[in-house]
Amino acid sequence: MKIRLSILIALTLMALASCRTEIEREITDYKYFDVPTSDTAGGPVLYAVTDEEHLQYGARVAYVSSTGDTVIPLGKYAYYGTDTLIHYANVIELPNDSTYGRQIAIDRNQRVLFDLVMFDNGSEPFIEGLTRVYRNGKMGYANKYGQVAIPCIYEYAKQFENSKAQVTFDAVEYIDMDEHTRVESDDWFEIDKTGKRIKK
């Protein structure tokens, strides 16, 4: 009887494991710009404009000054929710073929600061002053100035809550039977908003 039960449990676990699709995160060697502290004052505000009928997600976007000077021209980026560029803008690289490129944050000089973490159908909001970001497949946190405040060294990082966040260097991300993204790890630990590990 015990052998039958063990076999049944093993088969059930194998069936459940086969009903999920593991997500392979792409590891790249992109170059990123680190915003120095001296740049946190920002420059003149830039405004998103498009030559399409509506300024909506995926529309070709340019950023212009209040005097109408084009600072970031049309043709390279698509709109991704940033109407007003103060410190940086979330944009989508326009496709070279039939697919859109990366979702990235750029400064007014079009330097790439980091790749964006998806949240629902847009970029992740700020929570407790930080947002999760990617650099070359690893996660960390950025502030409102576009500075990576906690380095992108984690395999997975959760959002901050009560000034703490759970992170891990070893995680498996997958899509379950209900098409939801899940993350598993045996090695979660907590960090504070300076990136320091919280001892228990």
Tens digits of residue pLDDT in 18-62 = 556 666 777 789 999 999 987 787 789 999 999 999 999 999 999
Q: What pLDDT, on a 0 to 100 scale, did the predictor assign at position 54?
A: 95
**178 vs 38: which has the higher pLDDT:** 38
- Statement: residue 16 has pLDDT above 70: no
What confidence category does residue 105 fall into, taking pLDDT thresholds of 50, 70 and 90?
very high
Burial of 172 (0-12, 13-18, 19+ CB in 10 A): middle
**15 vs 152: which has the higher pLDDT:** 152
- pLDDT mean across residues, the chain: 88
Nearest to 157 by CA among 122, 104, 193: 193
Q: What pLDDT, on a 0 to 100 scale, did the predictor assign at position 19?
A: 59
CA distance 48 to 73: 10
Average pLDDT estimate for 101-130: 92
Nearest to 48 by CA among 19, 99, 86: 86
Q: What pLDDT, on a 0 to 100 scale, did the predictor assign at position 177?
A: 72
**Side-chain-side CA neighbours of residue 168 (13 Å):** 12
Q: What pLDDT, on a 0 to 100 scale, did the predictor assign at position 1?
A: 55
**Side-chain-side CA neighbours of residue 93 (13 Å):** 15
Instruction: Map residue 53 onto helix, strand or coil.
Output: coil
Nearest to 102 by CA among 136, 143, 62: 136
- Statement: residue 80 has pLDDT above 90: yes
pTM reported for the whole predicted model? 0.84
Instruction: Map residue 5 onto helix, strand or coil.
Output: helix
Q: What pLDDT, on a 0 to 100 scale, did the predictor assign at position 153?
A: 97
Q: What pLDDT, on a 0 to 100 scale, did the predictor assign at position 7?
A: 63
Residue tagged 């400064």 (tokens): 107
